[in-house]
Amino acid sequence: MHFLILGGTIFLGRHIVEAARARGHQITLFNRGRHNPDLFPDVETIRGDRTVAADLDRLIADNRRFDAVIDTCGYVPRIVRMSAERLADRTDSYCFISSISAYASFDTPGMNEDAPLGVLTDPAVEDVTGETYGPLKVACEAAVADAFPGRTLIIRPGLIVGPHDPSDRFTYWPHCIARGGDVLAPDRPDVPIQIIDARDLAEWSIRLLEDKATGVFNAVGPDYTLTMGALLESCLRASGSDARLVWADETFLESQNIGQWMDLPVWVSDRESPGFATIDITRPIAAGLRFRPIDTTVADTLTWSRTRPTDHEWRAGLTPEREQTALTAWSQHKPA
């Protein structure tokens, strides 16, 4: 098959390229060349900006056709619609990488792909914020479906993790635990979490397109209940660290202004959002989604993390200084 990948050089995109190459497919990349421009020197690359009509026209010049387009970087409906409409007559199917943030809320455990979706209060808004991100993804899904009726594959991942993740929303834990000493851990070891290794997501996406699959699929895992405690124990095994996990309850963390998701990544309160880490994956598993062991994901992420500069500026997680302040406060706060 001939895949057109919008993006293709950052995190999930690069893993999709690698998965497609491993399965013998032809690839064309379309991006601005601002990130890792020399990553795939032997892959056809068309430089351009998807917000510029003339650049999009280059994709379909000379009667060029594709079997499928994979959109890893669509956030604004107007811009996604431009891409989809330009390619509709030259591409068999359109795979849009959306998000579980598309759902209206996480109040209900066990939600499947038919759960209510978010709605933009102002359909004209294009600013991507914590409040608009999910509803914008919903509108992007609709734009693709309009341009490719019956030929659309929508994938809604949860937290994508693994090597080359620029967000640090998972890498923080293997890195932090590998340092050793006391490590502040959120709430309780039995809090459920869901993640998806970028490589598992990439390989499955390619197989779905090979099978000409359409429709909507959640993409979280694994296929058992993973907990915050199990993740951190995996980090201990991967690093061989002598770190000691210090579990501080949610009320204390709030008193220290330590938030969910970004301050202590992966963790989302199961009291506040009981549906966030209990997304139903019956449909994707039936469609072939498989998961590598959590120990493999953690170990590979830690190995990659160690290749980054020591002065890397972390985009998620507590600084060591802030963590130590909280640990000291917890030692004085907790019951004897």
Residues 4-36 pLDDT 10s: 999 999 999 999 999 999 999 999 999 998 999
Q: Where in the chain is the domain with CATH 3.90.25.10?
A: 172-194+225-276+293-333
- For residue range 192-240, list pLDDT tens digits in order: 999 999 999 999 999 999 999 999 999 999 999 999 999 999 999 999 9
Calculate mean pLDDT across residues 47-60. 95
Calculate mean pLDDT across residues 60-73. 95
Alpha-carbon distances of 125 from 60, 110, 122, 147, rounded to whole Å? 29, 30, 6, 21
Position 259 pLDDT exceeds 90: yes
- Residue 335: per-residue pLDDT: 59
The better pLDDT of the pair 329, 310 is held by 329
- Residue 317: per-residue pLDDT: 97
What are the residues facing 27 on neighbouring strands?
A: 3
- Residue 320: per-residue pLDDT: 95
> What CATH number belongs to 2-157?
3.40.50.720
- Residue 333: per-residue pLDDT: 83
Position 274 pLDDT exceeds 80: yes
Distance CA 180, CA 49 (A): 44
What CATH class does 172-194+225-276+293-333 carry? alpha beta
Pair of tokens at residue 207: 């197989």
- Residue 126: per-residue pLDDT: 95
Position 334 pLDDT exceeds 80: no
- Residue 318: per-residue pLDDT: 97
- Residue 172: per-residue pLDDT: 98
Position 76 pLDDT exceeds 90: yes
> Would you place residue 190 in the very low, low, confident or very high pLDDT band (cuts 50, 70, 90)?
very high
Question: Long-range contacts made by residues 236-241, C-beta under 8 angstroms, separation at least 24?
Answer: 236/177, 237/295, 237/298, 238/174, 238/178, 238/295, 238/298, 238/299, 238/302, 239/174, 239/177, 239/178, 239/302, 241/177, 241/178, 241/179, 241/180
Distance CA 201, CA 226 (A): 17
Position 110 pLDDT exceeds 60: yes
Chain mean position to CA 334: 35
- Residue 231: per-residue pLDDT: 98
Mean pLDDT of the chain: 96
Calculate mean pLDDT across residues 249-273. 96
